[in-house]
Structure 1
């Protein structure tokens, strides 16, 4: 049966958009017949209207199509909950439900989780959120962790030259949407560390000047480098020793896998689904500053944990993810 993959936006950025591209490539290699449908709404429409448009567009003309959706729609056969649970997100962020976008998401989400024949949660945290918020039976939800194309380190000499890096240890954050993903908290951690190091913040943020001012206020402006969005992120991962991601809510976070794959020791919160695959001591707690400081001071231990990070990543290839995803697709089709 032909599979129809759904995602509202077509983009090179964004976790779900990148995953869709990787899934499509893998399905192509395996000679699966599939199509991808993005939203045809006029660009001038606001986000919440585009979501309604897209739901009408795909659900009204579904016919006998088999929908594997990466987007919140009310008529999926399989829904991959890569964006997490909006109801949980609103509670954590304490956002107003008066915003029409949130109202639309909540309206669709409730119907979507009930309608889907199977739900793929990208972490146990997301599975718990779905069950807690919508009372969906546990057996309807399969947990399939994200997967990435596993790579080897790349040369980063040009990056070192560009940012005048010598032999300092390098810490890294990658991601857009600094508030939710904890850049303020990361800067506070950095401000308590001693020694020679640089902290790179890579990603797009409309309020980036506030974060630069905050780094100055914390007296760490000489240690922090805001690069903005970059197309050569693999070079930063390859150069870095430690990855810091103090997110408030992240369903999984491909950046976790990417950082591990390039031998970064990763520190994230228990509100990050990707944290489930990490050793317990890598979860951010009140001792995180001491843990990171120890690694900055102990080269041997740092190198050992970097090798451990690489080994963890080997269990999360895109090929393994697609194998498990195809198994769920076949179960639903048959």
Structure 2
């Protein structure tokens, strides 16, 4: 089989796309399939939109007979995995902007969808948006949900580790994980938990430039003693394992891995219908929008009923077991085999 070149401009150890790519490549290497990752090697001081243009120029110029499986918007992919969603749809939630990065993404996005031999969408939401905004033939788009690694864990041990590190009592834990707090709904997360009048502790894990705003907002809501901002952590599994409920009130998300990961660690997950991952949840756990505060009463009911809480946590894990990286990689490889 021809070597597969995976295209990803930026790499961060905390990125969902990067974690997905790492898992996929490990699976393919176990199948003795040769892979490489093509990253950008551009000066950090360059504006992001120029980096995007230069990266596209560089990878397309060097393509020749290489097989490109791209996770970024480029004009010369063989297969494009639309893990970042549809930028034109995202801008509808954000509002129009003359930022040259947005204009660059829109230009590259159109080229990507038109030139790719096959598009992999990670949710029905994204497939429908690609068709709606770019009139792409539905037959060209394959929906393959994300996959994760199902890990063994000890929930009680994880709770004790967090209790020791953060000097907290044996209380229920509510979790939010994500970098880029505005889009992912950290503000709404704080508003939701501020209405829960039951003893709990909350953790917000992730990278955010404007972290002081969220810390001050927690003080304003008078929940700062209940909320811990940890910043980015490499040991996120401990937080997943220790937590009971995961709330992710995102404004736009193609399919967030954090939802699957939280479910696999026996968290009851609430997220918005603007998140493609909501497609695998029962409707009572789907928020109509980031400010759907109807989930507050549901959360309070769960926290007051240990038996039902534990039962639904197990159900969430069983759902997550249907979305493994092995199943995702197998389906992805079937698509690759059509064109390689």
**Partner residue in 2 for 1:79:** 80
**Equivalent residue runs for 1:1-334 within 5 Å:** 1-96=2-97, 98-154=98-154, 155-156=157-158, 157-284=160-287, 285-333=292-340
Which digits, 9 at most, give the CA deviation of each residue in 1:270-311, with x for residues without a partner? 000111111111012442111111001111111111000110
Give how far 1:43 is off. 2.2
Q: Give 3-state SS (helix, strand or coil) of 1:153's partner.
A: coil
Between stretches 28-37 and 260-269, larger displacement belongs to 28-37
Q: Runs of 5+ in structure 1 lacking a partner?
A: none
Give how far 1:187 is off. 0.8
Give how far 1:95 is off. 4.1
| Contact 2:184/2:250, CA 8 A, preserved across alignment | yes
Q: Give 3-state SS (helix, strand or coil) of 1:166's partner.
A: coil
Give how far 1:126 is off. 0.7
Distance 1:49 1:17 in 2: 22
Extract structure 1 runs of 4+ deviating beyond 6 A. Answer: none
Give how far 1:207 is off. 1.1
| Contact 2:268/2:316, CA 8 A, preserved across alignment | yes
Q: Runs of 5+ in structure 2 lacking a partner?
A: none
Q: Give 3-state SS (helix, strand or coil) of 1:139's partner.
A: helix
Distance 1:6 1:162 in 2: 39
Distance 2:332 2:41 in 1: 27
RMSD of Structure 2 on Structure 1 (CA):
1.1
Between stretches 308-317 and 32-41, larger displacement belongs to 32-41
Please report the TM-score for the alignment, with normalisation by the length of structure 2: 0.95
Distance 2:68 2:119 in 1: 12
